[in-house]
């Protein structure tokens, strides 16, 4: 992908915290859903992104990813560690807006508002299962496609397919930073009003993976539950990545104190 095609769109930074150079909206879950509905109903093409410790570290090292995130119309803190960091740095966020919870809330809100949805990502059988689950909940599913399209069709063919579906909302469940860069490049051609990256949420909806107990979620330990489920795959992301995030936050804190 040619990263030179990515340009920052002009969205006001008012009402946003800034952590390690990444802007994050000061929104609760309900406020986030309301803003999303406003963006969908208002027309235009908008991108939503969630950030966690791993993505914050990646953005601190990759100016293209950081620029892409900051250009999004909505940026939520998916990780509790990001919320804690915002408070430690004196620029607090109100709460964590978990990506999967936001997706589920927006699915139901879109059903009530009459907005249609396109699903992109995961394995073919998984995304099909998610479409069936959401349809039973009253969602209007305009179409879906697995996340391995590059083995059979080109990006432009898929973009045309999504645009032709007439969907208002696009949920994208492919890894970072691929989904952020893909959406930034093709957003205006996709024809959707709001494109939302949802990571591994489709696997949870389809019943392939489980979320942490509510108590662990509230304690900010959902990462530990995922690590226990997939230790080999998640070790680098959570243990190594979280330690690096903590070092960056502590350094940012002491640097800000020296500048006062």
What is the per-residue pLDDT for 199?
A: 87
**Mean pLDDT of all residues in 213-225:** 73
Q: pLDDT for 124-146, tens place per residue?
A: 999 999 999 999 999 999 999 99
pLDDT of 7 > 60? The answer is no
Q: pLDDT for 56-72, tens place per residue?
A: 999 999 999 999 999 99
Map residue 167 onto helix, strand or coil.
Answer: coil
With b for 16 or more beta-carbon neighbours within 10 A and e for fewer, the 204-225 pattern comes to bbbeeeeebeeeebeeeebbbe
pLDDT of 5 > 70? The answer is no
CA distances from 74 to 16, 52, 91, 110, 250 (A): 10, 14, 18, 17, 26
CB 130 within 8 A of CB 205: yes
Report residue 234's pLDDT band, with 50, 70 and 90 as the boundaries: low
Map residue 20 onto helix, strand or coil.
Answer: coil
Q: pLDDT for 74-121, tens place per residue?
A: 999 998 899 999 999 999 999 999 999 999 999 999 999 999 999 999
- Sheet bearing 194-197, strands edge to edge: 74-77, 46-51, 194-197, 169-173, 116-121, 140-145
pLDDT, the chain, mean: 89
Give the list of residues 6+ apart from residue 213 with CB closer than 8 angstroms, or none. Answer: 225
User: Scanning the structure block, which residue is given the tokens 């997706």?
Assistant: 103
Q: Give the global pTM.
A: 0.88
């Amino acid at each position: 992908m040619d990263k030179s095609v990515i340009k920052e769109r002009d969205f006001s930074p008012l009402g946003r915290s800034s952590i390690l150079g990444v802007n994050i909206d000061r929104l609760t879950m309900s406020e986030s859903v309301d803003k999303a509905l406003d963006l969908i109903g208002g027309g235009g093409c908008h991108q939503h992104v969630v950030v966690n410790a791993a993505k914050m570290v990646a953005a601190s090292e990759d100016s293209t990813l950081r620029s892409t995130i900051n250009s999004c119309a909505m940026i939520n803190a998916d990780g509790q560690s990001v919320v804690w960091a915002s408070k430690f740095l004196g620029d607090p966020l109100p709460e964590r807006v978990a990506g999967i919870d936001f997706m589920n809330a927006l699915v139901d809100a879109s059903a009530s508002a009459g907005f249609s949805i396109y699903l992109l990502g995961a394995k073919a059988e998984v995304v099909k299962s998610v479409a069936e689950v959401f349809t039973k909940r009253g969602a209007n599913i305009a179409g879906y496609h697995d996340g391995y399209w590059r083995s059979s069709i080109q990006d432009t063919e898929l973009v045309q397919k999504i645009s032709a579906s007439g969907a208002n909302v696009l949920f994208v469940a492919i890894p970072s930073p691929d989904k952020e860069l893909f959406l930034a490049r093709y957003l205006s051609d996709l024809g959707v009003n709001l494109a939302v990256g949802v990571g591994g949420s489709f696997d949870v909806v389809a019943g392939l993976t489980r979320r942490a107990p509510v108590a662990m979620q509230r304690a900010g330990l959902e990462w530990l539950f995922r690590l226990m489920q997939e230790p080999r795959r998640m070790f680098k992301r959570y243990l190594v990545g979280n330690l690096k995030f903590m070092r960056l936050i502590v350094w940012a804190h002491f640097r800000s104190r020296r500048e006062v």
